Amino acid sequence: MPFDPILASIRFGCGLSPDVQTQTSIDDMLALLDGPDMAAQQFPIQSYDTVRPSRLDFRIAGGAVAEAENEAARDAAQQAVRQIRAEASDVWKTSTALQLSREITTADGFRERLTRFWADHFTAPPTNGQWRYLVYPYIEQDIRAHVNGQFVDMLRAAVMSPLLIQYLSQNRSVGPNSDNGIRTGRGLNENLAREILELHTLGVGGAYTQTDVREFAELLTGISTNVKQGAFFEPNRAEPGAETVLGRTYGGDVESLDHIMAALGDLARHPDTGRHLSAKLVEHFIGPEPHPDLVAAMARTYDQTDGNLMAVYDVMLRDEGAWSPELRKVKQPFGFVSSSMRALAVSTDDLMDLSYSDVARMVFRPLTYMGQTIHEPVGPDGWAEDDEAWITPQGMAGRITWAMQMPERLLDPLPDPREFIYHALGPTPPDAVVFAAGAAETASDGVGIVLASAAFQRR
Amino acid sequence: MDRRQFITRSAMLGCSAAAAPFVTPVAMAAAPWDTRLVVIILRGAMDGVDVIQPYGDPALAALRPNLPAGEQGNALDLNGFYSLNPHFSALKPLYDTGEFGAVHAVSTPYRDRRSHFDGQDILEAGLPTLDGGGLRDGWLNRMLQVVPGLEPEVAYSIGREQMLVLSGEAPASRWAPETKLQISPNARALLDVVYHDDPLFRDASSDAIAIAEQISLDAAVAEETTDLMAGASMMDGVPLNGQHVEVAEFAATRLRGETRIASFSINGWDTHAQQSRSLRQRGTVLSDTILALRAGLGPVWGKTAVLCLTEFGRTARENGSAGTDHGTGSAMLYAGGALRGGQVIADWPGLGDGDLYAGRDLLPTRDVRAYAAWVMHDLIGLDRNTLEQAVFPGLELGPNPGLVL
């Protein structure tokens, strides 16, 4: 097995670090991933169900403003709203710092990368900027907890998350013949049904038809969300009768979430789903144009294990192609920033102490310039996989500027570029980068050149 | 090998892209058309009724006691029925010369929910609805997909945020003019060295540096834009340091070159309270932007169409805080030497009892996408099928309003 500890960190982990040991084998990588989530324990991000402020906190505070009976009461209520907004901003900033801290220090980098991969698979951008602080808690609760489990559990958790329900308009879908539909005249919205089939399970080439989308949308009715209850199933919104999706019939008696969960189970088990997810994993982690044999092998394992993700990763990691020395993918902006901080061994204490405006200046805005506003891709298909989407003039300007300017704001003193190059790129950096790092006029230029180099930007 | 030697050698080996920016490794085509299209997304839902005011409608005054129109509101009469909000008065001379106009009582097919998020998605996706899913690309991008193999510079989205309207399979460029790529000459030379063997990084970074230099006004073409802008008579009242003017200047510079399509947004139209105060600022920003485009484009203005689109309109009645709430029908403002301005086109539905959509909003009498489609039809030469099926699925083009000269 051509395992390479440097490639393991760069390609499947969060990059190299001067402080963290690389993995010694594939077994090691998988054992860590299978074990307890140490990074989450050390840098805890709140889960969706417990995060404060909650959406209900916002609703109550907003209601108090509307109901204020005099000027003084209104001022006090508005002050309370501002306070809640500030707390939400703090969750957003702190969660970002916590995620970066995990990526800087973890020995289990594959888990972080998988979390980002699956969070993008089930991307749920906030439908209103005010809710963006909730995306980290959603990922923590509904995605991260399942990256080493069965795919079906992640699918079910995501489909029952308020953010995804709202983003894909399921809260507007009502069975036209349900009590609620008859009373209100409201009807079906196919958005969630289509995206589950097209993006989350079978994939765009999968064996489903428009009739399946329609029937599945009818089956999904009943699922909705509101501020008070979060996500819920309400039988009187559910379209009465049985629905047939991909040849299987669900329900027909009492309307129940169980029917939906059963259908999600069957979709997760569908052979097209195994193929779709396997190809996506390979394209993300290894490179474009996934080798059909590898995808087939992973899909077979997926089918045999009922969608056990650990088993699927195992097949991927044991493939020759996973360890080809050529770096065929470009890091996405968040991974570039986090792996830079990891190579620089930025202090997580310093990171956690940063103010909101510091994080905005060093992380939020630069990522937007690089083309990756955190958690806000333009569509439900998530971030682009092809390098050309990222390495554009604007994207490069963002990366070069960050590489040249941010390290000295994050670290004092900067490392000697001639040593730093080995922290960042491992024992055999390209000659041109060795030369350029040594030839720079200042340490910050030298460090910047290493971070901006294609050798560091690729994985 | 010392540093100087290495740099000289790599220069001699010829990093062609560094010497000639905007050269892509794959042979890609310039656009086979010569006209220019600028799409400005007015985010927040512009109150068309207060910008292009139907003061001749007898119902208007009673609906908006605190938002007076026409003579009462010091607005500028356009044609005896509509008046131009005084905060947009800088555009009146363009109206008089036929370079600015409006289409009224229009909207996308989006109805009833009145959410900015969905409204903008529908506007930029150009789809009749998002209820069926499938939000993947924007209509300007689908237009580009019709002519495969175009260089990315043919279309530019400008600004920090990604614009859905230009996102999709077809390559398009994106740049935020406020990007400051500050890099020492030494570091720049060293980056050329480290990127030398990686064409993707080499080309993107040399383009980035080249664009950044143009932005920093060092390059001749940007200076020319500045000269054009400084020399234009209507630019007297326009301060040249605003971010929106920078955006317009950047757009003009690109559009005078290989770029044929540019898109950017102007935010801040969500005027729930003290609308006239907000519109004063928005009016200045939009007028300055259009005047800066006109000046910066110089002779190219004559073949340019600028369309200003918003996600939906606002309530016909003012609310309790001298503002308006989310509505339906609004106006599309347009400008450019290639368009027939000096007119307000509308099948005016009226504002009286029973005329309003859902009893509250200006009733849209035509799909705004039809106007955008006809402009592309006449300006770029796209055929009806392409427009109705690929660019704006589900649109019925209807009769040609004749916006293009």
* pLDDT for res B220: 54
Indicate whether B17 pLDDT > 70: no
Q: Is residue B9 part of a domain?
A: no
Distance CA A139, CA A158 (A): 9
Residues of A in contact with B184 (CB under 8 A): 441-442, 445
Give the mean model confidence (pLDDT) for residues B20-29.
45
Which of B192, B215, B238 terminates a domain? The answer is B215
Indicate whether A212 pLDDT > 60: yes
Q: Does the beta carbon of B11 lie under 8 angstroms from any beta carbon of chain A?
A: no
Partner residue facing B175 (CB), from A193, A373, A393: A393
Distance CA A449, CA A441 (A): 11
- Clarify whether residues B82 and B124 are in a common domain: yes
Give the mean model confidence (pLDDT) for residues A170-197.
94
Give me the half-sphere count of Cα atoms (radius 13 Å) on the Cβ side of residue A114: 24
β B173-175/A223-226 pair status: unpaired
Nearest 5°: the CA angle A436, A437, A439 is: 60
* pLDDT for res A79: 95
DSSP state of A30: H
Q: Cβ(A243)–Cβ(A250) under 8 Å? A: yes
Range of the domain at B359: 36-179+220-391
Contacts 24+ apart (CB under 8 A), B63-68: B63/B316, B63/B317, B63/B318, B63/B351, B64/B316, B64/B317, B64/B318, B65/B318, B66/B318, B66/B322, B67/B275, B67/B276, B67/B318, B67/B322, B67/B324
- Clarify whether residues B252 and B164 are in a common domain: yes
Strand partners, B174: B157
* pLDDT for res B5: 37
Give the mean model confidence (pLDDT) for residues A46-56.
95
Q: Cβ(B341)–Cβ(B78) under 8 Å? A: no
Partner-chain contact B194 A405, CB within 8 Å:
no
Q: Is residue B402 part of a domain?
A: no
Indicate whether B228 pLDDT > 80: no
Q: Which of A186-200, B1-15, B192-206 has the lowest mean pLDDT?
A: B1-15
Q: Is residue B24 part of a domain?
A: no
Which of B189, B215, B241 terminates a domain? The answer is B215
Residues of B in contact with A371 (CB under 8 A): 162, 174
- Clarify whether residues B173 and B203 are in a common domain: no
- Please classify residue B369 by burial: count the beta carbons closer than 10 Å to its beta carbon, then call 0-12 exposed, 13-18 middle and 19+ buried: buried
Q: Does the beta carbon of A436 lie under 8 angstroms from any beta carbon of chain B?
A: yes
- Clarify whether residues B275 and B261 are in a common domain: yes
Tokens read off for A459: 């994985």
Indicate whether A142 pLDDT > 50: yes
Nearest-Cα distance to chain A for B225, in Å, is 21
- Clarify whether residues B196 and B341 are in a common domain: no
- Clarify whether residues B226 and B127 are in a common domain: yes
Partner residue facing A387 (CB), from B173, B200, B208: B200
Indicate whether B215 pLDDT > 80: no
Distance CA B121, CA B135 (A): 8
Kindly report the number of other CB atoms within 10 A of residue B37's CB atom.
25
* pLDDT for res A277: 98
- Clarify whether residues B243 and B274 are in a common domain: yes
3-state helix/strand/coil string of B255-290: HHCCCCEEEEEECCCCCCCCHHHHHHHHHHHHHHHH
Q: What confidence category does residue B328 fall into, taking pLDDT thresholds of 50, 70 and 90?
A: very high
| Segment B278-299, tens digit of pLDDT | 999 999 999 999 999 999 999 9
Distance CA A120, CA B399 (A): 44
Q: Cβ(B203)–Cβ(B24) under 8 Å? A: yes
Q: Cβ(B36)–Cβ(B294) under 8 Å? A: no
Angle, helices A109-121/A5-12, rounded to nearest 10 degrees: 30
- Clarify whether residues B91 and B187 are in a common domain: no
Q: Is residue B405 part of a domain?
A: no
- Clarify whether residues B50 and B172 are in a common domain: yes
Residues 362-381 (A) with a CB less than 8 A from some CB of B? 365, 368-369, 371, 373, 378-381
Residues 258-317 (B) with a CB less than 8 A from some CB of A? none
- Clarify whether residues B95 and B231 are in a common domain: yes
DSSP state of B29: B
Partner residue facing A440 (CB), from B186, B198, B210: B186
B97's CB contacts (< 8 A; 6+ apart) are B341, B342
- Clarify whether residues B138 and B193 are in a common domain: no
| Segment A213-239, tens digit of pLDDT | 999 999 999 999 999 999 999 999 999
Q: Give the mean pLDDT of chain A.
A: 95
Partner-chain contact B176 A454, CB within 8 Å:
no
DSSP state of B315: B
Q: Cβ(B55)–Cβ(B79) under 8 Å? A: no
Domain with residue B139: its CATH number is 3.40.720
Partner-chain contact A432 B201, CB within 8 Å:
no
* pLDDT for res A1: 55
Q: How many residues does the structure list for chain B?
A: 405
Partner-chain contact A432 B197, CB within 8 Å:
yes
| Segment A253-306, tens digit of pLDDT | 899 999 999 999 999 999 999 999 999 999 999 999 999 999 999 999 999 999
Distance CA A189, CA B135 (A): 14
Distance CA B307, CA A379 (A): 24
Q: Is residue B298 part of a domain?
A: yes
Minimal CA–CA distance to A55: which of A168, A135, A131? Answer: A131
Distance of CA B74 to the CA centre of its chain: 28
* pLDDT for res B118: 86
* pLDDT for res A14: 98
Whole-angstrom CA distances from A336 to A104, A339, A351, B302 are 12, 5, 16, 44
Q: What confidence category does residue B13 fall into, taking pLDDT thresholds of 50, 70 and 90?
A: very low
- Clarify whether residues B186 and B276 are in a common domain: no
Q: Cβ(B126)–Cβ(B370) under 8 Å? A: no
Distance CA B251, CA B257 (A): 10
Total domain count for chain B? 2
Tokens read off for A307: 């969608």
Q: What confidence category does residue B344 fall into, taking pLDDT thresholds of 50, 70 and 90?
A: very high
Q: Is residue B82 part of a domain?
A: yes
